[in-house]
């Protein structure tokens, strides 16, 4: 199952076959780590290094964008095919049910070490970039935060507790983003992330089947699992920070705010991120049925977030206009505590 992503180093013409998974992943800027993991520098990490806009996680929670390690231990595997996803996975049909019998997962320490090493290798180039802020370029060589959200469904990795522990040993904070379809994997966690996210992509089972491109039978099972994961989220909120993360698209899932509000009440997250889908990457594929105009404006996101707040009792607390996202907080206490003391974590 091991594959090698072609080199995309600046100044070198790489021979890339865009008909292959490896070629298309390389074209998108992924850097492979080991057999099944990857890191990638996001737009806001790059911009922060140049003294420009940081990401919404910086504004909402205090995360340093230039010290954020965006990664995944499941480069090849996802069990959903969400229409708004900008990743490659939905078109590859390389899901978890297709894992070959001989496939073996790598150990957590090797993955953590490899990810950090590759991140430093990528970031080292900014030290020679005259447009980069010198101190930020130096700080970027010491990543302080891990976003397990890059591609695939991370809870498919069976050693997630060990991986979280490896990062925590290195005094790094962790954000784990899951689609909530594998509640048993969540329940098996013996180590919790600094912040646990579950995606909220539809307000009801029927819409869920359409958004995730599942058969009715599969959607029925996955929706049941999803609700079980929301129950887990409510319990986990007693031990760690929790979030429901929405991605809204016109004519796809931007309706039935009452249905979403019921899910929020069930999961009881500390925070809800109400965000527009972005018409980039593979979200532009004709088969997804989306168009540029399906992105919601920040005004529309504000309006939808207000409806959710009114129905759920949450508070509209902040927004990040470039990302077209509004943050809802459960109450005044969570609003006051939304900024994380990352220095205390890394002390």
| Contact by Cβ (8 Å): 34, 106 | yes
- Rg over alpha carbons for the chain, rounded to the nearest Å, is 19
Q: Tens digits of per-residue pLDDT, 2-60?
A: 444 444 444 444 455 656 667 777 778 889 999 899 999 999 999 999 999 999 999 99
The tokens 């979030």 sit on which residue? 243
Per-residue model confidence (pLDDT) at position 10: 42
3-state secondary structure at position 92:
helix
Report the distance separating Cα 257 and Cα 264, nearest Å.
10
Q: Tens digits of per-residue pLDDT, 270-313?
A: 999 999 998 887 788 888 888 999 999 999 999 999 999 999 99
Measured in whole angstroms, the distance separating CA 190 from the mean position of its chain's CA atoms is: 21
Report the distance separating Cα 49 and Cα 56, nearest Å.
15
Report the distance separating Cα 80 and Cα 121, nearest Å.
32
Among 3.40.50.300, 3.20.20.70, 2.40.110.10, 2.40.70.10, what is the CATH number of 21-346? 3.20.20.70
Residues in the chain: 347
Question: Does the structure show a pLDDT above 60 at 1?
Answer: no
3-state secondary structure at position 239:
coil
Per-residue model confidence (pLDDT) at position 94: 47
Q: Of 16-30, 128-142, 198-212, give the lowest mean pLDDT range.
A: 16-30
H/E segment holding residue 44: helix 43-49
The tokens 């929020």 sit on which residue? 264
Q: Tens digits of per-residue pLDDT, 84-105?
A: 888 776 555 544 545 666 789 9
- Domain ranges in the chain are 21-346
Counting residues of the chain whose pLDDT is more than 90, the rounded percentage is 75
* Structure token digits, residue 44: 């806001």
């Amino acid at each position: 199952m091991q594959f090698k992503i072609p080199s995309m180093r600046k100044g070198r013409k790489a021979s890339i076959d865009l008909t292959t998974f490896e070629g298309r992943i390389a074209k998108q800027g992924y850097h492979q780590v080991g057999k099944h993991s990857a890191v990638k520098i996001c737009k806001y990490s790059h911009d922060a290094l140049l003294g420009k806009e940081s990401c919404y996680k910086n504004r909402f929670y205090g995360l340093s964008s230039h010290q954020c390690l965006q990664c995944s231990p499941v480069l090849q595997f996802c069990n959903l095919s969400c229409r708004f996803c900008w990743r490659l996975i939905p078109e590859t049909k390389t899901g978890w049910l297709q894992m070959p019998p001989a496939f073996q997962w790598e150990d957590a320490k090797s993955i953590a070490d490899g990810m950090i090493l590759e991140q430093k290798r990528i970031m080292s180039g900014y030290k020679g970039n005259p447009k980069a802020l010198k101190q930020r370029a130096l700080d970027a060589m010491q990543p302080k935060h891990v976003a397990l959200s890059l591609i695939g469904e991370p809870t498919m990795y069976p050693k997630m507790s060990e991986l979280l522990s490896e990062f925590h040993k290195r005094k790094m904070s962790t954000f784990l983003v899951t689609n909530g379809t594998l509640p048993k994997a969540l329940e098996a966690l013996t180590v919790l992330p600094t912040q646990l996210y579950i995606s909220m992509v539809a307000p009801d089972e029927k819409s869920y089947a359409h958004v995730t491109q599942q058969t009715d039978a599969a959607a029925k099972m996955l929706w049941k699992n999803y609700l079980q994961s929301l129950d887990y989220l409510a319990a986990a909120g007693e031990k760690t920070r929790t979030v429901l993360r929405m991605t809204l698209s016109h004519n796809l899932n931007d309706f039935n705010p009452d249905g979403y509000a019921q899910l929020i009440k069930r999961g009881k997250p500390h925070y809800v991120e109400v965000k527009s889908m972005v018409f980039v990457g593979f979200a532009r594929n004709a088969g997804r049925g989306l168009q540029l105009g399906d992105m919601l404006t920040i005004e529309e996101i504000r309006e939808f977030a207000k409806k959710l707040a009114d129905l759920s009792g949450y508070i509209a607390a902040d927004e990040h206009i470039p990302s077209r996202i509004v943050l809802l907080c459960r109450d005044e206490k969570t609003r006051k505590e939304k900024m994380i003391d990352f220095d205390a974590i890394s002390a």
